[in-house]
Amino acid sequence: MTNQQLQTSIEAAGYNASVEGDCGTGSCSARGTSQGWRVEIFAFRNPSDPTTQISLSVQQ
């Protein structure tokens, strides 16, 4: 996953957040808001595994 792919997904979901870090190396995150809620998104990739795991946290 690239930073741009994650950013596109974030925007499509309606979140106001910007990607930080480098998704290409396996670790990036985004923090922002959506309709007054605090949103945190973390993306992790194990170098030996081609898939990326994404974690979403939403708090009021």
Instruction: Write out the E strands in the chain.
Output: 16-22, 27-34, 37-44, 53-59
Give Cα 14 distance to the centre of its chain. 13
Whether residue 45 contacts residue 53, with contact meaning beta carbons closer than 8 Å, is answered with yes
Low-confidence ranges of the chain (pLDDT < 50): none
| 3-state DSSP assignment of residue 5 | helix
What pLDDT score does 46 carry? 81
The set of residues, in sequence order, having a beta carbon less than 8 Å from that of 31 and lying 6+ positions away, is 17, 20, 38, 39, 40, 41
pLDDT at residue 32, rounded to an integer? 96
pLDDT of residue 51: 85
